[in-house]
Structure 1
Amino acid sequence: MENNPITDYFNTICEFRQVHPVVKGAPLRTNDPGMMTIRDALNGFKECLQNKYREFQGTDLSVEISRGIINLPHVLYACILPPGQLVPNGIYTVICFDVSGRGALVGCVESKVTSKGLNTVQRKKGPGLLPIDVDGASDRTKYNNVFVNPKEFYYPLENGEMLEQHIEESLELASFLLTL
């Protein structure tokens, strides 16, 4: 089977979270030399996504990844953004990595910060941990319930074709929702 850099970076990010799971009150500092591997993996993942999804159905796209100024964000993500859409205010496709490294939740979302009134799936109703949990520490970073078409992808991801197919379906859905 041919190596797929998207799959490789997906697994590297999950492996990092397995070694460094989110622990409340124990932030990971972005300037810590041990954080270079995750910064490199996120940047590599971003580059692969930009190369694959530079344009979709004649529309130019951009990719944003999670970044922390002082602390590494609890929820690591990569957003594929249509023109005019921003992470804090938009409709777009996202790959959100589980807080414990078990995989990622992927799909079309509305911004957590600025709701667009989409018909999102209520994945999390109580305090329990989901199989793939993408809720951060603050209300502004609780992402489990912002997905229109959530799909879980588990570590280790051995074949990226299903992931890429769901990304494309999510890009189509975001494009459609933006025309409404």
Structure 2
Amino acid sequence: MKKKIILLILAMFILSCSAAYAKDVTAIQKGPATAKKGENITLTYTIHNNGNSDIYNVSVADQNFYKFLGTIKAGQSKSFTNRAYIPTDREVKEDFGPDATVSNPFYIGGVAVSYQNANGKTFGINSNSLSIPLVSTSTNKTSDETIQVNITEINNTSANPSSQSIIQQIMDLINSIIMYVQNMFVPNSS
């Protein structure tokens, strides 16, 4: 019985240390304040290593891209950009049916970041998601004047890592624990 309790306490300590290691790395996704249907937008991704140790084999992925960043030294960051297309209502209707429309605000989910420490342990975190208000350009029927109409306003504080919700922090911790447990039981394929 004492062995089980000691092993449980040791496992909790190891898991809390690995979660603390994962907490030293942040991923931030930024996009435009507003956008229009049918246009390409530029998204900027920044991975910060706020820890005291270098991180290795850093990669960023979502459903549309994969980017390998390599090593990020302690106290440093790496950034890159990627383009995303916001479809028109017509394009969405073609793919999903006559009642489908583009959501406003346009939602872009977070990206997954994985990396390893010096011991080869793998960690994972997720960036913030984005809600980008869509604006419309309407042409007045009586003139050629173009009018900008702001359809919706959303205060996007999720791009700021200090406003990261407790739920996101819990999800990051659970993700780190899952990856840690997987590494304990699944042999490394290298």
Q: Determine if the TM-score, normalized by the shorter chain, exceeds 0.5.
A: no
Higher Rg of the two aligned structures:
2
Q: When you count strand as a share of all residues, which structure comes out higher?
A: 2
